[in-house]
C-alpha cells in the first residue's frame, strides 16, 4: 500500500539531513585555484522585518536555478550569503524599536 503524504511540510524532518550533506559535499564553496570560469551570486538575507513573502521565494528559486545551470555548464560556481539589501527597512524598524525604548538614533550614535 502506498505511503500517505503528510498534510503539511515539516522542514525539520528533511532539511537537517540535506544541509549536513551539502556542507560535507562543500556545495557552498568554490575553488579559487580552479581553471574553470568563475561565476557567483550573492544571496540577500531576509530583511529586518523578518516577514518573508512570495517574492523572496521566487528570488531564491531563480538564484538556485541559475547557480545549478552554471554548475552544469562547467562553471566554478559559488552561491554566497550576502549582506542586508534592505537598508531603509532596517533603519525604519530599528528606529521604531528605539522609539519604544524612548530613544532616538541620534542619542545612541552610529
Domain boundaries, the chain: 38-108
Higher-confidence residue of 24 and 88: namely 24
- Joined grid coordinates for residue 49: 522585518
High-pLDDT (> 70) share of the chain, % = 84
pLDDT at residue 66, as a whole number: 94
pLDDT mean over 75-94: 76
Q: What is the C-alpha to C-alpha distance for residues 93 and 97, in angstroms, rounded to an integer?
A: 6
8-22, 29-43, 46-60: lowest mean pLDDT where? 46-60
pLDDT at residue 104, as a whole number: 86
pLDDT at residue 36, as a whole number: 95
Amino acid at each position: 500500500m502506498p505511503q500517505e503524504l503528510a498534510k503539511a511540510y515539516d522542514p525539520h524532518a528533511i532539511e537537517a539531513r540535506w544541509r549536513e550533506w551539502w556542507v560535507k559535499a562543500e556545495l557552498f564553496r568554490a575553488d579559487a585555484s580552479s581553471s574553470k570560469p568563475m561565476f557567483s551570486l550573492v544571496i540577500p538575507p531576509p530583511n529586518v522585518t523578518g516577514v518573508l513573502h512570495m517574492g523572496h521565494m521566487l528570488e531564491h528559486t531563480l538564484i538556485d536555478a541559475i547557480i545549478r545551470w552554471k554548475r552544469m555548464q562547467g562553471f566554478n560556481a559559488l552561491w554566497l550569503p550576502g549582506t542586508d539589501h534592505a537598508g531603509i527597512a532596517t533603519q525604519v524598524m530599528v528606529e521604531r524599536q528605539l522609539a519604544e525604548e524612548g530613544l532616538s538614533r541620534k542619542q545612541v550614535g552610529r
